[in-house]
Amino acid sequence: VELSNQIAAGEVIERPASVVKELVENSIDAQATQVLITIQQAGLKLIEVNDNGKGISSDDVEVAFLPHTTSKIANDRDLFNIRTLGFRGEALASIASISKLMVLTSTDGKSAVRAKYSGNELVKKETFARSKGTTITVEDMFFNTPARLKYVKSLHTELNKIVDIVDRLAMGHPDISFRLINEGKDLVWTSGNDNLQQTIAGIYGRTIASHMLEFENSDPDYEIHGFFSKPDTTRSNRSYISLILNGRYIRNFQLTNAVIRGYGSKLMVARFPVAVIDIKMDPSLVDINVHPTKQEVRLSNEGHIGDLISDGIKQRLSDQNL
């Protein structure tokens, strides 16, 4: 069983950022409104995700860590919240198989259970106390699969990937407060009060967020709303242009270009804006032609959505005489 979990883990868990993603998505699924992520050594030493979600009942704790035998059905729809059978039930078992894992959880804020695993083996289960919610502590990732460590890049790179994941999840969920602390330092801290501009402040800082312009451009099929920097606040690459589709972070080349196009000739050569574009549309109009790892998503009518974005930005800039 352990071996098959490690094989499964190879597909899901390739680096600390994958653990952060799986754990934080579980917190979101559990209707948490606050998610605190604490890491050490870019997650290799420690990843702890603490939430105030609905918790796991004592009986379900062990079930949650059981590997599911169904083979993974790779399904691109996963990106759009139509939760797949694919990873269902596999993440926790996979993470437990390559780390020392502890879960402390309570469904009622009175009684709690604490369970410790080492490489998938339950080593201790006891009753405890805590407020409603779940804390999952993952220590010494890959301690029993040292070969896997070879594929882990520098701590700097791994940390950036974690920040990236948390940024994206936070942008897609302005109603949840996310806080990421690395070695005692706050890297991300969003308000969770359902305000996109304040969420952006928690990610890029107050100064950048407060100088951004807001725009809206919708039609009966698409609702576009977003924030973008003035042409004098730019970055040297496109990675500060974020697209959120129906609450999910996506990558899309054409829509990213549409943001840039909205500036016309106002950007300096090889400079790119900071922008967060929130797109809402009928989920059935989303093409599920997706690259699973790259999150590159195709949309029917991309050209039209791109026009709504670039026109909206252009209009807002000219309103401001910029």
Q: Is 22 among the residues that bind ligand ADP (CB under 6 A)?
A: yes
- Closest to 274 measured CA to CA, from 214, 244, 308, 230: 230
- Closest to 117 measured CA to CA, from 91, 139, 87, 135: 139
Q: Report in angstroms the alpha-carbon separations of 301 from 248, 277, 287, 292, 305.
A: 18, 17, 10, 21, 6
Q: Is 91 among the residues that bind ligand ADP (CB under 6 A)?
A: yes
Q: Is 142 among the residues that bind ligand ADP (CB under 6 A)?
A: no
Which residue in the shown chain puts its C-beta closest to Mg ion? Answer: 91
Touching Mg ion, residues 21-60 (CB under 5 A):
26
Q: Is 309 among the residues that bind Mg ion (CB under 5 A)?
A: no
The DSSP annotation for 174-201 comes to: TTSEEEEEETTEEEEE---SS-HHHHHH
What gap in Å lies between CA 258 and CA 132, rounded to an integer?
44
What gap in Å lies between CA 142 and CA 119, rounded to an integer?
9
Minimum distance, C-beta of residue 266 to ligand ADP, in the bound complex (Å): 44
List the single partner that 203 binds among Mg ion, ligand ADP, none, CB under 5 to 8 Å by kind.
Answer: none
Window contacting ligand ADP (CB under 6 A); options: 86-94, 173-181, 211-219, 292-300: 86-94
Window contacting Mg ion (CB under 5 A); options: 86-94, 100-108, 223-231, 252-260: 86-94
**90 or 278: whose CB is closer to ligand ADP?**
90
**38 or 256: whose CB is closer to ligand ADP?**
38
Pairing of strands 296-299, 133-139: unpaired
Window contacting ligand ADP (CB under 6 A); options: 7-15, 22-30, 120-128, 213-221: 22-30
Handedness of CA 145, 20, 179, 123 (dihedral sign): negative
What gap in Å lies between CA 286 and CA 233, rounded to an integer?
32
Q: Is 91 among the residues that bind Mg ion (CB under 5 A)?
A: yes
List the single partner that 196 binds among Mg ion, ligand ADP, none, CB under 5 to 8 Å by kind.
Answer: none
Q: Is 106 among the residues that bind ligand ADP (CB under 6 A)?
A: no
Give me 285's structure tokens.
């109009």
What gap in Å lies between CA 194 and CA 177, rounded to an integer?
9
Q: Is 176 among the residues that bind ligand ADP (CB under 6 A)?
A: no
Under the rule (CB under 6 A), what is the footprint of ligand ADP? 22, 26-27, 29-30, 51, 53-56, 64, 87-92, 134
Contact positions vs Mg ion (CB under 5 A): 26, 91
